[in-house]
Amino acid sequence: MGRQRNQKAALLSKPIKHIDIQNFDSTLLIDAMDSMSFSSRELSKGTTIFNDMLRDKDCTIILTLAGSTSAAGCMKIYSDLVKYNMVDVIVATGASIVDMDFFEALGFRHYQAEKTVSDEKLRSLYINRIYDTYIDEKELQICDKTISKIAKSLQPRPYSSREFIAEMGKWLVKNSKKRDSLVQTAYEHGVPIFCPAFTDSSAGFGLVHHQVKNPKKHLTIDSVRDFREITEIKIRSKESGLFMIGGGVPKNFAQDTVICAEILDRKTKMHKYAVQITVADVRDGSCSSSTLKEASSWGKVDTAKEQMIYAEATTVLPLIASQAFHGKNWEHRKRFQYNRLLEELS
């Protein structure tokens, strides 16, 4: 056992350091890329569109997160986008919010991986791997049970994922070990976080634990209410823009608000602005790879100001966010604080 502990400690010895967009200004680099081609010019045009969203005083900006960029070093970027009023709504995978952000708020870390170690060896040490990143499985189980603990403290009724994540943020105000988590920052600034596939994460394990331990008195997650709530935000927004990291469920969930509003006989516009960063191959017909022009055929996204950026997100997201931060178009935006609106509608 002592040898295994030493091996595990050695492998979990290089914590991921989250990049700080305030420490560098990418403006000159992105301006230069505008005169280049391929992904460089896509990046420059995408950055311009994101700044158009920030300048548009009527625009609700929706950030969607899929994949593991939070674990890979982009976690502070997302909390800063909220802190500096560059994002009004978040739609994310449960893993991005719980297994990564909330997990680190509890004082745990992600680690750079050693590629020469076999996955069989990692399993014997209870180390989980995300490509070249490690997570301590035993710490994840603490995260699972913390979700169960929060659930037990709440009134047993159906909650949207947004409501439950707000309760997680409220809990972190008193209990967090790391103060700049996305979950807590969003809670403090009234920014709603939706996880339409919430149980596909540590939240799922924690909530199953909660229900099994409290068979007659437990809460549930109402995913239909999630969709109704975010559609209400879209209906009340004069304009809207999508800033999408990856694709998957978060991308489609945010785009589908236009169609849901139509089904409800409520007039609303297509999303006026859209930027997606992805490495997905368009030929497989999936949601992740579908182009924003394709989304226009469904009535979801206007094609006047849209840009696909074909790149791995950790390489380009810091550049876009840094330029937007130093460009300061966020300084004169009002905070929509949609959590307050949704609480009033409850």
CATH number at residue 168: 3.40.910.10
Residue count of the chain: 346
pLDDT of residue 286: 62
Express as a percent the part of the chain with pLDDT over 70.
97
At 98, which helix (H) or strand (E)? none
Domain of residue 242, residue span: 19-142+159-196+222-345
Structure tokens at 308: 């696909």
Calculate mean pLDDT across residues 55-82.
Answer: 97
pLDDT of residue 283: 67
Query: Pick the catalytic residue: 45, 76, 83, 300?
Result: 300
Count of domains for the chain:
1
Name the band, by pLDDT with cuts 50, 70 and 90, for residue 303: confident
Residue 212 lies in a domain: no
Closest CA to 66 of 97, 39, 45: 97
Residue 29 lies in a domain: yes
pLDDT of residue 289: 60
Residue 331 is given by DSSP the state G
Separation of first and last alpha carbons in the chain: 52
pLDDT tens across 201-219, in order? 889 999 999 999 999 999 9
Name the band, by pLDDT with cuts 50, 70 and 90, for residue 282: confident
pLDDT tens across 208-250, in order? 999 999 999 999 999 999 999 999 999 999 999 999 999 989 9
Residue 107 lies in a domain: yes
For the entire predicted model, the pTM comes to 0.96
Closest CA to 134 of 111, 104, 103: 111
pLDDT of residue 21: 98
201 phi/psi in degrees, rounded to 5: -175, -175
User: Is 300 tagged catalytic?
Assistant: yes
pLDDT of residue 226: 97
Please report, for residues 34, 288, 308, 311, the alpha-carbon distance to residue 38 in angstroms, rounded to integers and kept in the order given.
10, 20, 11, 10
Calculate mean pLDDT across residues 304-333.
Answer: 96
Residue 10 lies in a domain: no
pLDDT of residue 297: 79
pLDDT of residue 294: 75
Specify the 3-state DSSP secondary structure of 63: strand
Q: How far apart are CA 65 and CA 278, in angstroms?
A: 11
Name the band, by pLDDT with cuts 50, 70 and 90, for residue 71: very high
Task: With a cut of 70, say whether residue 288 has pLDDT above it.
Answer: no
Residue 111 lies in a domain: yes
Calculate mean pLDDT across residues 127-132.
Answer: 95
Task: With a cut of 80, say whether residue 96 has pLDDT above it.
Answer: yes
Closest CA to 133 of 107, 100, 110: 110
Residue 207 lies in a domain: no
Name the band, by pLDDT with cuts 50, 70 and 90, for residue 114: confident
Task: With a cut of 90, say whether residue 264 has pLDDT above it.
Answer: yes
Residue 338 lies in a domain: yes
What value does the mean pLDDT of the chain take? 94
Residue 117 lies in a domain: yes
Closest CA to 339 of 105, 90, 81, 151: 90
- At residue 255, what is the residue type? Q
pLDDT of residue 116: 82
Please report, for residues 21, 43, 264, 342, the alpha-carbon distance to residue 338 in angstroms, rounded to integers and kept in the order given.
25, 29, 20, 6
- Segments in the chain forming alpha helices (H): 2-11, 27-33, 38-55, 69, 75-83, 94, 103-105, 119-124, 137-152, 161-175, 182-188, 202-213, 223-236, 248-255, 257-263, 292-297, 313-327, 338-345
